Amino acid sequence: MNGGGIALDRARTALLGPAGLDEAAIGRALGELAGGGADLADLYFETTTMRSWQLQDGRVTQGGFSMRQGVGARAAHGGQVSFAHSADLREGALRDTVRAVRTLARHGDAGRPGQGIALNRDAGCHHLYPAIDTVDVRNAAAWITLLERIDQLAHAEDARIVRVDASVRATDTTILVAEADGLLAGDVRPMTILSMVVIAEQDGLRARGQAGLGRRAGLDGFDAASIERMVATAANMALNNLDAIPAPVGEMPVVLGPGYPGVLFHEAVGHGLEGDHHRKHLSAFDGKMGERIAASGVTVIDDGGLEGRLGSLGIDDEGTPPDRTVLVEDGVLTGLMQDRLNAGLMNARSTGNGRRQSYAHLPMPRMTNTFLANGTADPADIIASIDRGIYATEFDGGQVDIVTGRFNFTTIEAWLVEKGKLVAPVRGATLIGVGHEALRHVSMIGNDLDYDTGMATCGKQGQSLHVSVGQPTLRIDRMMVGGQAG
């Protein structure tokens, strides 16, 4: 069956029917929205429901349910964007929202109706996940049982595990995008996220471990083996951290493990390759298209069409199927991530990276699944090449300055490496550097590309979205490592 057609039909049913809207009404609203001579005009309809349960210290203590729905209306005249939104989807409220945008824009006659637009263009879509509802109250008992099972498994890992907190959040988002060029596209986006934190204690010392799983699926997307791996990951992290020694301090080689450590380059490099930062000359990579910005062998890709990844989308929030965009190829800057607005202003095309947190937010160029491509080195050889340095496998947080590329990331799991061997876990290690400099110091790239487990999120201008990050094991020859006393 046509996954895109199913999603569009579901979106029509969920968003238009209850509000008494039809495509003719949307066409009339779009005509008025674009009637002031807008270069770009669109409507973004959304409904989102979310249900969650939380287990704390052996008991399911919280459950929650929330929902939101509404429409955002946007019109752009060059780089000037006017925007309004409403939680009321009925035609009268939609008309008022559109007129508010026209008034804000101050282009043309805000009271003059535009000509209705026929919605007859289909941009296609990626068929990556089923158009299903994950938020079902009948699943509550099954989810609670799963949380209790996670608690039991974690305590069974080791007697030193003294506390387990776990949560599950199921979210259903349905969107409908209508544009003044006649596009009508829909997407149904299921998402379920499991997360857990464990505390281990020994001789009065406590240490934390964490893990999680994110899927564009419901309960059936979490098999027993993946749950057991998640629990073991969190428990082992906490137990290892009980034995952690203070991190060394100073400039040294750093090895980043596969998967989630790709978040370092997501933050330090990826944001600088979003189109709006280049258009506004705010990126550390501004003016470097076609130039070498990284070591040979470094290839960075953003691909919103990867099956099974939480950053993947059937369509972006402007109705465009995301591309596979090669940002850096063999060390040379080759591409940028674009939404429709910035692409138009830069004489480029949208790469399907227009994303927004909700109907009440404007879209902007955002990452989807961003990763460093495989190299050829054996990961064991990369670690063996280190005389003294750090091997980092999980991060707890970080900061980056988009303009300068400066970053710092705190590890939650890292190891001291001496003479090519993992000597001991370390605590308090902070990796400090500059994104474009770190790219140039990559000297070995592994052949073990992996991605995060579905827990990565990305913030930009106050908007938070789920993404995916990834990389193989890699060696960075020089990086400053900060530590903590004790």
Residue given tokens 């908007």 in the structure block = 463
> Residue 420: which region, alpha, beta or left (left: phi > 0; alpha: psi -120 to 50)?
left
Helix (H) or strand (E) holding 28: helix 23-34
* Amino acid 268: pLDDT: 81
Do residues 302 and 366 lie in contact, with contact meaning Cβ atoms separated by under 8 Å?
A: no
Predicted confidence at residue 112, as pLDDT, reads 54
**Cα(423)–Cα(420) distance, rounded to whole angstroms?**
9
Q: What CA–CA distance (Å, rounded) separates 422 from 415?
A: 6
pLDDT at residue number 107: 55
Pairing of strands 250-256, 300-303: unpaired
DSSP H helical ranges for 206-352:
224-242, 263-265, 275-279, 340-345
Contact yes or no for 480/462 (Cβ under 8 A): no
pLDDT at res. 486: 47
Domain ranges of the chain: 3-242, 246-482
Helix (H, G, I), strand (E, B) or coil at 338: coil
For residue 204, give the DSSP letter.
T
Give the Cα separation of 227 and 479 in Å (integer).
35
CA distances 359 to 79, 322, 355, 363, Å, are 20, 19, 11, 9
E strand intervals along 420-483: 421-427, 430-434, 442-445, 450-451, 457-460, 463-466, 468-471, 474-482
Could you tell me which residues come within 8 angstroms of residue 219 by beta carbon, excluding any fewer than 6 positions away?
Answer: 134, 139, 142, 143, 146, 192
The span from the CA of 367 to the CA of 469, in Å, is 9
Check: pTM over 0.75? Answer yes or no. Answer: yes
Structure tokens at 205: 């010392």
Residue 290 has a CB neighbour count (10 Å cut-off) of: 8
Mean pLDDT by 10 residues, the chain (486 residues): 71 94 95 91 97 93 94 95 97 96 73 74 84 80 93 97 97 96 95 97 96 93 96 97 95 97 88 93 92 96 95 96 97 97 96 98 98 98 98 87 87 96 95 92 98 94 96 97 72
User: Are the beta carbons of 75 and 101 closer than 8 angstroms?
Assistant: yes
Angle between helices 140-157 and 224-242 (to 10 degrees): 40
Indicate the CATH number for domain 3-242. 3.30.2290.10
Given a contact cutoff of 8 angstroms between Cβ atoms, the answer to whether 342 and 273 are in contact is no
Round to the nearest angstrom and report the end-to-end CA distance of the chain: 61
DSSP lists the bridge partners of residue 465 as 458
CA distances from 26 to 71, 341, 372, 384 (A): 11, 21, 42, 62
**364-365 vs 59-77, strand pairing mode:** unpaired
